[in-house]
Amino acid sequence: MTSAESPTLRPRRPRRRRRRPSPVALALAAGLAALWLVGLSPPFGPWPGGLWRRTGSVPPDLSTWHGAFAIEPAPLDPVRAVTVTDGAACALVYNGLVRFDADGRVVPDLAEDWSVSPDGLVWTFHLRSGVRFHDGTTLEAEDVVFSFTRLLDPRVGSARAWVLDGVKGAKDFMAGRARSVAGLEAAGPLTVRITLEAPLAHFPALLAMPAAYVVSPEAVAKWGKDFGYHPCGTGPWRLDFWREGVEMRFVAFDGYFGERPRLKALSYRFIPDAATRQAEFEAGHLEVLALGEENADYFARNPRYAGCIRSEPELAVVYMALNCTKPPLDNVLVRRAINHAINRRAILDAIRPGRYILADGSIPPGLCGHEPLWSGYSYDPALARALLARAGYPEGFAMDLVIRAGGMSVLTAEPIQAELARVGIRVRIVQLETQAFFAATGDNGNPDACLLSWVADYADPENFLFPLFYSRNPPSAGNNARFADPVADRLLEEIHRETDPERRAALCRAAEKVIFEQAPWVPLFFPVNLMVTQPEVRGLRVWPVYNGNKMTEVWLEGGR
């Protein structure tokens, strides 16, 4: 510190020192000791380990894909694959009997071909020969039976057991009344025969889901509870390492039976924050960035990324479910009035037209059945008021709209609130954190209305009708509107039986019309997938069903 006094007359420093270490020195010593201890901890290597590196000077590694997951996937075990991230990661390591192609169609994977008996009950799959697991063992029909039985096993407790619960004897096995699943059978070393309880026309689509991936029984036995951290499938990629909270890395599997990956490795970092992902992308450390409302325009204007922005409709729908069992929403006139009162087009234009397509029903464009018979409710506040008066609510009423905190929900819920206020319906928006939201909208909750979205598990219009509107499905299965209509039920059951694609599509269109005439929802939007890639990314396609993508045809061209 400088001082005003003249330094020339500096008196000798009085040395009144106690022989005790000064607290500052002590703190310093303690800090260094702590540094040292921490630096020795095994997972992260030595503390001063990295020298000062200019990150920009590292030459780009064009044989490795650098991706990011917003959330860390669940253990890479098909029976634990629930979220899109889980499924996308499992798709790299495992194969199912069939898979989705880039158009969302079901095509052969582990099974070369299959046939179905005339009554639609017995499905026979012929496996490819010579398929190897990552541990070197060869795929046999017994492995498929093992994997499917494991999914249904109540001791395993999979959240996706429902995928195969239509197999004969599955319910008995799941309830502990049988020791094996009657309908699952290895009819030969490479022949799997599956018998169903009732015809299920979209059964192959179910088999393409991550839950129905085939695992190596030897590896499951070897690793037990930790199998998901030592996954062993037949897929094009093998897990190289997985650092908790940091990164997972896959390397190409040499023995893969299908198209060999063009890249050598895939690295996925776990980056929860969207702004951080964007910064990493702009620094060139990520190959692809999913765009949202906030940054789509920014990249669209940036010449560096011209021609690098892709958009593709997603197989998903955003909607407001109206509780069909709770007054006054149990009155169809009230539900129709709500539909007529909301200017959905205006809301869509306000939040971001490029990210969404207006929805009139529940089946997204791109699925058969989407040349709808049903044309939707027009925006007509006068008609809405008239309908409310006819229903006995000329002065309107009050209701709650339950939404999930964060993200888009508020941007959608507030205009809805304003529109409904104009016809006299007083909406209270209830924002809840994720788990509380699921509790409030689940089987034990009874909300008036809630804002939800539904993402396809498989590319079939049935997936946008049966789970959402079949009367015996509880809210937890998808029927959040608690919708029940005998005509709709009959049509939905018929869809399950109908194998002819034309007639099936007609049935789906008919069912959608029957359902939406009863107005169980205010359908809002079909989301559009928007993403930007680095200029050197080649061969990347947008997959209608996320787990179709096995990252085999992607590569990186030239330098950065």
Restricting to residues 156-185, which ones interact with another protein according to CB under 8 A? 157-162, 165, 171, 174-176
Task: Give the bridge partners for 115, in sequence order.
Answer: 124
Per CB under 8 A, 553 contacts another protein: no
**CA–centroid distance for 7 within its chain:** 72
Nearer to another protein by C-beta: 55 or 115?
Answer: 55
Structure-token pair, residue 516: 């939406």
Q: Which 246-275 residues touch another protein, going by CB under 8 A?
A: 246, 269-273, 275
Q: Where are the beta strands (DSSP E) in 60-97?
A: 64-69
Per CB under 8 A, 435 contacts another protein: yes
Per CB under 8 A, 11 contacts another protein: yes
CB of 183 to another protein, least distance (A): 16
Helices (H) and strands (E) in the chain, counts: 16, 20
Per-residue contact flags (x/-) with another protein for residues 203 to 242, judged by CB under 8 A:
----------------------xx-xx-------------
CB of 252 to another protein, least distance (A): 24
Pairing of strands 449-455, 316-322: antiparallel
- Which residue of 19, 20, 179, 472 would you call a contact of another protein, by CB under 8 A? 20
Q: Which 80-139 residues touch another protein, going by CB under 8 A?
A: 82
Nearer to another protein by C-beta: 156 or 421?
Answer: 156
Per CB under 8 A, 448 contacts another protein: no
Residues that bind another protein (rule: CB under 8 A) add up to a total of 83
CB of 58 to another protein, least distance (A): 10
Nearer to another protein by C-beta: 129 or 434?
Answer: 434
Alpha helices in 423-465 (DSSP H): 434-441
Nearer to another protein by C-beta: 118 or 245?
Answer: 245
Backbone dihedral region of 151: left (phi > 0), alpha (psi from -120 to 50 degrees) or beta? alpha
Per CB under 8 A, 373 contacts another protein: no
- Which residue of 178, 279, 421, 487 would you call a contact of another protein, by CB under 8 A? 279
363 touches 370 (CB < 8 A): yes
E strand or H helix at 122, and its extent? strand 122-127
Per CB under 8 A, 26 contacts another protein: yes
Per CB under 8 A, 244 contacts another protein: yes
Structure-token pair, residue 496: 């399950």
Helix (H, G, I), strand (E, B) or coil at 408: coil
182 touches 169 (CB < 8 A): yes
Residues 6+ positions from 162 with CB-CB distance below 8 Å: none
Nearer to another protein by C-beta: 179 or 502?
Answer: 179
Q: How far is CA 127 from CA 78, 141, 204, 377, in A?
A: 19, 7, 14, 49
CB of 507 to another protein, least distance (A): 23
Nearer to another protein by C-beta: 117 or 276?
Answer: 276
233 touches 136 (CB < 8 A): no
Per CB under 8 A, 18 contacts another protein: yes
How would you list the strands of the sheet with 247-252, edge to edge? 64-69, 265-270, 247-252, 237-243
CB of 283 to another protein, least distance (A): 5
Nearer to another protein by C-beta: 9 or 115?
Answer: 9
Helix (H, G, I), strand (E, B) or coil at 454: strand
Residues 482, 444: Cα–Cα separation, whole Å:
12
Q: Which 458-497 residues touch another protein, going by CB under 8 A?
A: 476-477
Residue span binding another protein (CB under 8 A) among the ranges 134-142, 279-287, 493-501, 551-559: 279-287
Residue span binding another protein (CB under 8 A) among the ranges 109-117, 276-284, 409-417, 533-541: 276-284
Is 558 exposed, middle or buried, given 0-12, 13-18 or 19+ CB atoms closer than 10 A? exposed
Amino acid code (one letter) for 515: I
**CA–centroid distance for 190 within its chain:** 32
Place of tokens 């001063």: 48
Residues 554, 176: Cα–Cα separation, whole Å:
45
Per CB under 8 A, 436 contacts another protein: yes
451 touches 412 (CB < 8 A): yes
Per-residue contact flags (x/-) with another protein for residues 42 to 61, judged by CB under 8 A:
-xxxxxxxxxxxxxxx----
Q: Please state the length of the chain.
A: 560
CB of 282 to another protein, least distance (A): 5
Structure-token pair, residue 532: 């930007």
- Which residue of 178, 221, 283, 421 would you call a contact of another protein, by CB under 8 A? 283
Nearer to another protein by C-beta: 229 or 379?
Answer: 229
CB of 378 to another protein, least distance (A): 34
Per CB under 8 A, 293 contacts another protein: no
CB of 246 to another protein, least distance (A): 5
CB of 374 to another protein, least distance (A): 27
Structure-token pair, residue 145: 């039976």
Per CB under 8 A, 446 contacts another protein: no
Nearer to another protein by C-beta: 114 or 242?
Answer: 242
CB of 325 to another protein, least distance (A): 18
Residues 6+ positions from 191 with CB-CB distance below 8 Å: 124, 125, 126, 127, 141
Give per-residue burial for 423-432: e unless 16+ CB within 10 Å, then b. Answer: bbbebeebeb
CB of 217 to another protein, least distance (A): 19
CB of 57 to another protein, least distance (A): 8
Per CB under 8 A, 38 contacts another protein: yes
Residue span binding another protein (CB under 8 A) among the ranges 120-128, 311-319, 377-385, 435-443: 435-443
Per-residue contact flags (x/-) with another protein for residues 529 to 548, judged by CB under 8 A:
--------------------
Residues 6+ positions from 99 with CB-CB distance below 8 Å: 106, 107, 108, 109, 208, 547, 548, 550
Residues 229, 217: Cα–Cα separation, whole Å:
15
Residue span binding another protein (CB under 8 A) among the ranges 23-31, 117-125, 341-349, 541-549: 23-31
